[in-house]
Amino acid sequence: MLHTNDLFKLEGKVALITGGASGIGFATAKRLAEFGANVMLLDINEELGETAARRIQDLGGAARFFKCNVVSQEECRQVTEAIEEAYGRIDILFNNAGVIRRKTVVELEEQDWDLVINVSLKGAYNLSKYVIPIMTKSGGGSIINTGSGWGIKGGDKAAAYCAAKAGVVNLTRAMAIDHGPENIRVNCVSPGDTDTPLLREEARQLNKEESAFLVSSAQGRPLERLGTPQDIANAVLFFASDLSAWVTGSVLVVDGGGLA
């Protein structure tokens, strides 16, 4: 009889995860490593990234850290080439890096707008540009992009973030159409409010008391709690595994029912 874990088996696969030093990125790297993947953590925070890789190694997983600013196409090219040279393949790409600025279009400075759009949207483009040819050479792969509930409906004082995540959602669909013939599946996980450093940073930007802000973020959801990074990691595991072998171009909302 087929064991449940066999459906998620990732032994021998190489997974590249942006924003991998903390939050959803780290939780996902840990989860994929638990199922046998060699995880490559990409982040701009070198100290935190090295620590994250060591934590996974200490748990028996295979992990490496690469410093990479996803906004730089040249850095993305260099990192993907280094990973291909070391491992000969990339099977899974989780485009997860993102930042937020809680401001309206009137309040946003140009550099705020550029940063948010570039990290979430251009970053996904940059990594995908270089990873897809590598995946194609080894017969295909799975790309998962991090969207947001606010990429599907609007939110207050988050104009650049809503725009970036809406772009990620439809970029996912376009890539799924373009690269399905190469056996590359492209899907999107769209979290609701999740207890991560990014959410706590939102409280600071809005001058809100952190614990009260986290409580308010959970209110009104049918499941009556915030998401955890592990909740999102489990959704990414589904898309990364063969259990979703006929799923592409999909947007999975993981938000405790917030958009319901």
* Alpha carbons 37 and 34: distance in angstroms, whole number: 7
* Alpha carbons 62 and 115: distance in angstroms, whole number: 32
Domain-located, residue 200: no
Respond yes or no: is residue 87 known to be catalytic: no
* Alpha carbons 11 and 46: distance in angstroms, whole number: 27
Among 132, 252, 117, CA closest to 180: 132
* Alpha carbons 195 and 210: distance in angstroms, whole number: 11
What's the number of domains the chain is made of? 1
Domain-located, residue 151: yes
Angle between helices 23-34 and 229-240 (to 10 degrees): 50
Domain-located, residue 172: yes
CB 38 within 8 A of CB 61: no
Domain-located, residue 211: no
DSSP 6: H
Domain-located, residue 87: yes
Domain-located, residue 148: yes
H-helix or E-strand spanning residue 109: none
Contacts of 93 (CB under 8 A, 6+ apart): 15, 16, 127, 128, 131, 135, 141, 142, 143, 144
Q: What is the CATH number of the domain that holds 115?
A: 3.40.50.720
What are the helix (H) ranges across 41-120? Answer: 46-58, 73-87, 110-117
Domain-located, residue 260: no
Q: Which residues pair with 40 in a beta bridge?
A: 16, 64
pLDDT at residue 1 in the model: 57
Domain-located, residue 155: yes
Strand order in the sheet with 184-191: 62-67, 38-43, 14-18, 92-95, 141-146, 184-191, 251-254
Among 211, 204, 207, 240, CA closest to 226: 211
pLDDT tens digits, the chain, 260 residues: what are they? 556 667 789 999 999 999 999 999 999 999 999 999 999 999 999 999 999 999 999 999 999 999 999 999 999 999 999 999 999 999 999 999 999 999 999 999 999 999 999 999 999 999 999 999 999 999 999 999 999 999 999 999 999 999 999 999 999 999 999 999 999 999 999 999 999 999 999 999 999 999 999 999 999 899 999 999 999 999 999 999 999 999 999 999 999 999 99
pLDDT at residue 61 in the model: 98
Backbone angles phi, psi at 92, to 5 degrees: -135, 130
Domain that residue 67 falls in: 12-192+228-246
Q: Which of 87, 125, 130, 161 is flagged as catalytic?
A: 161
CB 90 within 8 A of CB 84: yes
Query: What phi-psi label fits residue 57: left (phi over 0), alpha (psi between -120 and 50 degrees) or beta?
Result: alpha
Output helix, strand, coil percentages for the chain, rounded to the nearest 5.
50, 15, 35
